[in-house]
Chain A
Amino acid sequence: MNLLEFRLKSEALCMGERTKKGTFRPTITTIPYSQITGALKAYFGIKNIHAVGHFTKIPKKEYLTFSPKNYVTGSSRLPITVEFLVDVEGMVYILKNDDTHDFPEKIELSIGALRTRGLGNSLLTKVGEIEIDLSSRESRKKNMNAGILNTRVPLEHLDKFAIESRKPVYGYLFKPTSITTGVYVLSLFEGSEVYAPKVLLRGG
């Protein structure tokens, strides 16, 4: 298994969680499979992409309050406060396969929520490629470790990233099934104890 390693930079990013109380939309502080894979799929127009990521420094949070407009009635709804991250730096790992092996060195794409308001513009710069060789004990020792997961991955994709769950923290990630529909799939969240590639672990 090979992972393409990209550095992510963004001035402002809202990796929005589901809205709370109808008026507050918090942001999460990692880069889940669903967000980054969705953004890459939308950018390249191909389906066979699997990616995860995390931030390399604790991002600063800021808040934006605005009133979404109901375009049918022309009236404004209740104001909503959105939490977003500024000066974001992180790493993104894309599973190398026939569709992704020739990805460009730089990818400019929009990730997360509120893209119409200028948030989410991100630059991915290729850093290199990580070979995760699971064939021998020596090679596993080199790239794999037990630790705390630093991202969110659906259970159905754990094996793609060679993640073994030891003490899970569960949650659900959204999985689109068409342009307008989707389901929530059981996923491993950050904070889970796992045996996984070092780059996907806290402090790794």
Chain B
Amino acid sequence: MIVPELHDIGKLVDKRATGIEHNFENAPFRLENDTWRGIVEHHCSRNFQKYPTSPDTFKLCIADDLAAAFSRYTIEGEDAHVFNTHKLWNPPSETMTQSFIKSAEEARELFSFLAKNPTANEFFEKYEDMLRKRTEHATRGKNITSLYTHSKLTGQFFRILISDNSAFSLKSEELQGLNKEEVAALINKKKKTWNMSIMRCKINFAQIPVKAKDMNVFKVLEKLIENIKKELPDNIFFSTSNELLIVTSNVQEPLEKIRKKIEDLGFWMDVLYAETQVGGIKPQLEDIRGKKEKMVMYPPLPNEISPPICELCQISKARDQPLVDEESGIKEFLCEKCWRIREAGSGLPKFVEWESSEKNPKIGWLKIWLDYELLLKSLSELYSRYLEEIRESTLKNQIEIRFSTISEFQWDYDKFLKCFEESVEKDFGSGNVQKILPDFLAVQIDSFNLLKNVLLRFNELYDAFFPKFKDVSSPLKLSIVGSNIKFPFLETWRLLQDTRNEINIQLIGKGYIGLKVKDLSVFLKTKTDNKALLYKLIKLSEISPKLAKITLSDRSDRDFYPYTDLRLAVEKFGFENILTYAKMMGD
């Protein structure tokens, strides 16, 4: 059985230094196993002598193509070789001009490793560093994904292609006696006749958490996503805390699996699905030419429900017996599913502790959102800019982003979320931070001015991970809600979902701040140290926000000159933003 992830292992060897082709067709060593056959036969082009001669290497060749970050726009010539990955959102500062293995002796070590018939995991474990640095395609303009991502995706596509012999039918006889050109023609033919499906599922919950225990619904969602990922390891090409991008030979099977799971939980799901020829499969579902459908999948909903209706999800009949809170005596009517969630005990222990504390602490709710469509658009824009920069000319057509680029982004996105969580924990202490989802945290704070630290950390990490997104529209959005712990969570959740700006800060009772990520560092330098002036401004705004705004520009006001910094900040960021920031810092 071919281990498809190893097909490009030869790219770790520098061809110019060793003379060895990356498919090892001219290597001074040879092995007799399936993976070796895969390595040697995974190309079918004029650049290589060997070509696919069996159904599995034939499918590996197609999988390799689907997992590539191909662009027609490349730079030719000697200086066009670049071996490190140019992440569009975070390009490297240095250029790597050679691959890692530069001598035949070192290449032998690689051969010895291959001779042990390693698994994909062993391969990634041993060579992860090299694979992450080395680009899949060492040509300027094509070097936008790592060999690591490309190898992983090739494995996924390969297993999809071999898992369904009726959708991707190919008999050994079809390849018998064909020369390279004929095999290439057959590959093209199969890419047009075989069909693949892609679907984007957005999982939503109907439950509106009102108690700390109801927040379990987020943990249930997290487990559900993990569970689906485990069940469909080869089909998921991108995911967030509630979205999945799934590639499959037949949409019905995975869809039915997910539908059953969400139905059991009382969740519902938005599905966008497209089916097209293998050669036309791409992450831009909306642009796919072929069969397309939008669906919404709910648990069975009766036309009428006689009271009581479930107070949490409001789409199911509640049990006749209410749930009675022992302390307050409050009765709540819940359906079986929501009852189960409530009774599961809290998956968020710190939050329960804060809620029951007599301190009535303030909470900063921090949610990071990722806009998938905007991600594709921004990546496409950054790719165009990269190509224009190296070609020194403007491109006529929009560049399409392929699966490998979004998967490459996924690594960094997940790492960014992890680092964000760690830095917030470092700033506030782990006892004061409750992780709700990987992209959703709650922080116990004494005053709202501490939220400035969150913004600083977010900005630092954004600069470290995605600096180039500051030049285009940011697909990452940050929502912060500052409130008292008793403030109803359902309202907090509504506010968190308001992502009209890239940075959205809602301070209950104080106001709203809406910013672009690129303006964040300048905004945070706004001087708010003159408390007396700010106090005056806030008090004026309580009478009339317009009066407060006018006062800033009133030359006869004795504080006209001391207001200069604030006035300039207001001109740049707007009065509401500055006023709310002043209130936040004055808290």
Interface set of A (CB-CB < 8 Å, partner B): 18-24, 26, 78, 81, 83, 155-156, 166-172, 175, 182-186, 193
Contact = CB atoms under 8 A, between A and B. Distances in A.
Contacts of B328: 22, 78
Contacts of A19: 311
B490 interface: yes
A168 B302 contact: no
A26 B488 contact: yes
Nearest to A177: B306
A182 B305 CA distance: 9
Interface residues of B, number: 28
Contact of B488 (A18, A21, A175, A193): A21
B522 interface: no
B270 interface: yes
A172 B330 contact: no
B118 interface: no
A168 B296 contact: yes
Given A20-B210, A24-B488, A184-B304, 6 more contacts: A20-B490, A26-B488, A83-B491, A175-B304, A183-B306, A186-B304
B303 interface: yes
B307 interface: yes
12 contacts: A18-B309, A19-B311, A20-B488, A21-B488, A26-B490, A156-B303, A170-B268, A170-B298, A171-B315, A182-B307, A183-B306, A185-B304
B208 A20 contact: yes
Q: Chain B contact residues: over half helix, strand or loop, or mixed?
A: loop
B490 A184 contact: no
Contacts of B296: 167-170
A21 B211 contact: yes
Contact of B309 (A21, A172, A193): A172
B541 interface: no
Q: Which of A18, A19, A83, A182 neighbours the largest number of chain B CB atoms within 10 Å of its CB? A: A18
B301 interface: yes
B490 A22 contact: no
B331 interface: yes
A193 B294 contact: yes
B210 A172 contact: no
B243 interface: no
Contact of A78 (B294, B305, B330): B330
B303 A22 contact: no
Nearest to A156: B303
Interface in B273-303: 294-296, 298, 301-303
A47 to B, nearest CB: 19
